[in-house]
Amino acid sequence: MSLNATKFERIPDRLPPVNTIGWVAWVKQNLFGSVSNTIITLLFFYLIFLYVPPFLDWAVFNANISGTDRSVCDDNKSGACWTFVKVRIEQLLFGLYFTLNPDQTWRPILAFIVFACLLVPLVIERTPHKKWILLTLIVLYPIFFISVVGGGVFGIPESDASQWGGLLLTFALAFVGIVLALPLGILLALGRRSKMPVVRSFSIIYIEFWRGTPLITILFMASVMLPLFFPSGVEFDKVVRAMIGITLFQSAYTAEAVRGGLQAMDKGQSEASMALGMGYWQQTIFIVLPQALRISIPSIVNTFIALFKDTSLVSIIGLLDLLKIAQNSSRSLDWNGYDIEAYMFAGLVFWMFCFGMSMYSQKLERKLDTDRNAE
């Protein structure tokens, strides 16, 4: 009996079914993967259909942007009055001083442009010399900002900081608070874990005091009580006092965020560095802090986002930040009744800054996630 030889031929590779790969598979798995997911998805799309088209009609298609007064908006009530934002844009962005001196608006505009020019290279992946750019942004840019916006040097007229307002004031308060609070918070976090009782006790008392005090109270104390502790004739501008209060408050929260990263570190890292003969500061600077800060990125950025939004509280001490300027502008006799447009503009600006910080922190976290990159 003979066996017939069977000839095997290789079948060409075939693509997987369309419904198992790509966006089709993602939609099927995440939006319609179960009965409950399907119901939620359909309900969500129904709400979009119900509310988004009318909103677009109001905000975009029927919106008013022409003219220089409210007459155009009063004649067309079916759309948003973006004419209000167009007319008050300088006040919303720069505050009272630069609105009253329109020939000086180039100063805050230049400050924002330089900030963007320094920030964009930090976001781009393969930009060379990022450390020097970051150092310039942290050290030299504040000097440039004070010189250009504050004036008083190089023949630039001096501007009263108490008349700053809008986005300019919000940006200045948040930037100073972040730049100063981060190194102070790192020192406090290290001090809280120090083996020296005096340093540890001081750090704990400082952190718990400022964390337990509302920012409104701190701003009030910085504005009213702080001048009482200085000699006669020594005065600080109200904006500077607010910056001091915000920095002290923010540093406590930053310290706790960094301390969380320090506690999450493997103790073997410190023990290995000690075995190599490294001193405390060498361990801290080259081994401990880089890893602790990498772990703490989400928490630190979360506190920075909260700080940016909390700058609106400075209105209680008479400073006109972006939100307060928007409120006052929409309640003026010329534009009374257009509060929605004012709040939407302010909310959009806040969202852009906060969303940008969030996205950059996620990108930085993915880049520094050495464990995942090694897989």
**DSSP string across 237-304:** -HHHHHHHHHHHHHHHHHHHHHHHHHHHS-HHHHHHHHHTT--HHHIIIIIIHHHHHHHHHHHHHHHH
Which pLDDT value is given to residue 222? Answer: 86
pLDDT digits (tens, 9 = 90+) for 203-221: 999 999 999 999 999 999 8
Question: Is 371's pLDDT higher than 70?
Answer: no
Which pLDDT value is given to residue 305? Answer: 95
At position 225, the amino acid (one-letter code) is M
pLDDT digits (tens, 9 = 90+) for 268-300: 777 788 888 888 888 888 888 888 888 899 999
Residue count (the chain): 375
Pick the CATH number of 83-101+159-374 from 2.30.30.830, 1.20.1730.10, 1.10.10.410, 1.10.3720.10: 1.10.3720.10
Instruction: For residue 127, give the 3-state DSSP assignment.
Output: coil
Band of pLDDT at residue 301, cut at 50, 70 and 90? very high
Q: What is the percent of the chain with per-residue pLDDT over 70, rounded to a whole number?
A: 94
pTM of structure = 0.86
Cα separation of 321 and 172, whole Å?
Answer: 10
Which pLDDT value is given to residue 243? Answer: 94
Q: What is the percent of the chain with per-residue pLDDT over 90, rounded to a whole number?
A: 53
pLDDT digits (tens, 9 = 90+) for 214-254: 999 999 988 888 778 777 777 778 899 999 999 999 999 99
Q: Are residues 364 and 357 in contact, defined by beta-carbon separation less than 8 angstroms?
A: no
Question: Is 154's pLDDT higher than 80?
Answer: yes
Which pLDDT value is given to residue 127? Answer: 86
User: 95 pairs with which residues across the strands?
Assistant: 164
pLDDT digits (tens, 9 = 90+) for 15-67: 766 666 677 778 888 888 888 989 999 999 999 999 999 999 999 999 999 88
Domains of the chain, residue spans: 83-101+159-374
Place of tokens 């972006």: 322
Query: Average pLDDT, stretch 127-132?
Result: 89
Across the chain, mean pLDDT equals 88
